[in-house]
A and B are shown apart, each in its own frame.
Chain A
Amino acid sequence: EAQVTQNPRYLITVTGKKLTVTCSQNMNHEYMSWYRQDPGLGLRQIYYSMNVEVTDKGDVPEGYKVSRKEKRNFPLILESPSPNQTSLYFCASSLSGLGDSPLHFGNGTRLTVT
């Protein structure tokens, strides 16, 4: 089944403890992206990747890192999480980064930083 898989679904951590949220897609998509969704603010892009080893900042990249060493994986790294990073996170992928193909989303990771 074609899908975007995020892990974990739920994560509670403490301020400053490094964490990684994994994202994997099995559709051979070139484009991958991370979003956060907050009440009243909607979906905001954190980072995106047009292809392997090609990443760029979205609207809210501060406090996050990404890497794209393989086509299928696009992990999101929080080196020193803070409470303002408590949010619902989504990974998404599409065939190309030109926006001419539908975006497929994972089921989300709900992160709580205390």
Chain B
Amino acid sequence: KQEVTQIPAALSVPEGENLVLNCSFTDSAIYNLQWFRQDPGKGLTSLLLIQSSQREQTSGRLNASLDKSSGRSTLYIAASQPGDSATYLCAVNDYKLSFGAGTTVTVRA
């Protein structure tokens, strides 16, 4: 059974600092991995989808890398802003989606 872990559970940084969020998974036979953002009381918004054949994916200030062999993905958010405060979840697809518990990010102005 796929286990997805996100450490740390919470992170607080000053505005402008780069954010590094980690996601690890136990079974490397995956099709793809998605990163989501969840704001309080809201649903999840898909940020990036990385196929298993890709090493990284970029969108604006966001960059996600994938190392299947080591079972890791990292989400980088450059020059963080208070509006980036949210919970970030990764989900691994090995025919079915398994979600991590998320990292709650607070960006202090």
Q: Which A positions have Cβ atoms within 8 angstroms of B?
A: 4, 40, 42-45, 58, 90, 92, 98-108
Say whether A90 contacts B93, CB under 8 Å.
Answer: no
Question: How far apart are the CA atoms of A98 and B97 in the complex, in Å?
Answer: 10
Say whether B43 contacts A100, CB under 8 Å.
Answer: no
B82-101: which residues lie under 8 A (CB-CB) from chain A? 89, 91, 93, 95-97, 99-101
Say whether B44 contacts A105, CB under 8 Å.
Answer: yes
Say whether B97 contacts A106, CB under 8 Å.
Answer: no
- Provide the B39-80 mask, 1 if CB < 8 A to any CB of A, else 0: 001111110010100000000000000000000000000000
Q: Given A98-B31, A100-B51, A105-B44, decide whether A43 and B96 contact each other with a Cβ distance below 8 A.
A: no
Query: Secondary structure at chain B's binding surface: helix, strand, loop or mixed?
Result: strand
Query: Which chain A positions have C-beta within 8 A of B100?
Result: 42
B28 at interface, CB cutoff 8 A: no
Q: Given A99-B93, A101-B49, A102-B49, decide whether A108 and B43 contact each other with a Cβ distance below 8 A.
A: yes
Closest Cβ neighbor of B4 among chain A residues: A42
Question: How far apart are the CA atoms of A42 and B102 in the complex, in Å?
Answer: 8
